[in-house]
Amino acid sequence: MAKKKTGRPKKKLTKKQEAAIIKALGMGLPKNQVCALVDMGDNVFRKYLASHARLSKAYKKAAEKVNETIIGVLSKMAASGRHPGCTIFWAKTRCGFKEKQVIEMDADSLADTAQKILADRMKDTK
């Protein structure tokens, strides 16, 4: 006598759903939104990709294509000089620049600042 299979049946996607996944990834949607699109949990989606080499390859290719496009646009915007935010972002993420804020204070100015703070606090407590 054969054993009866228990548990939830494996999720199977149609060709149409697979095409929708690839298209959504090509538009840059994050994985959690793609999972919601095909009504699949994140863990199940990851396992599905692991067991379906063709879809996994298409998934990686779509993600790489989106990244290439965005990096190309970002580099053009950063190089133009008209978008300082892009230039700063590029410098920090790709060139390793960091913002350092150095506050120099000598002993006299520190004592003056401390006295001002204490005087303000004394006024507030009265």
- Residue 49's CB is within 10 A of a number of other CB atoms, namely 17
Residue 4 in any domain: the answer is no
- Cα–Cα distance for residue pair 21/37, rounded to 1 Å: 8
Look at the chain and report how many structural domains it folds into. 1
> CA-CA-CA-CA torsion for 57, 58, 59, 62, nearest 10 degrees?
130
Residue 117 in any domain: the answer is yes
Residue 20 in any domain: the answer is yes
| Each residue's pLDDT tens digit, 60-113 | 888 888 878 888 888 888 888 888 888 888 788 877 888 887 777 777 777 888
Q: At 104, which amino acid appears? A: E
Residue 87 in any domain: the answer is yes
- pLDDT classification of 1: cutoffs 50, 70, 90: low
CB 13 within 8 A of CB 38: yes
Q: What is the CATH number of the domain that holds 42?
A: 1.10.10
Residue 97 in any domain: the answer is yes
Q: Could you tell me the residue range of the domain that residue 75 belongs to?
A: 15-125
Top pLDDT among 96 and 2 is at: 96
Residue 7 in any domain: the answer is no
| Each residue's pLDDT tens digit, 23-45 | 887 787 888 888 888 888 888 88
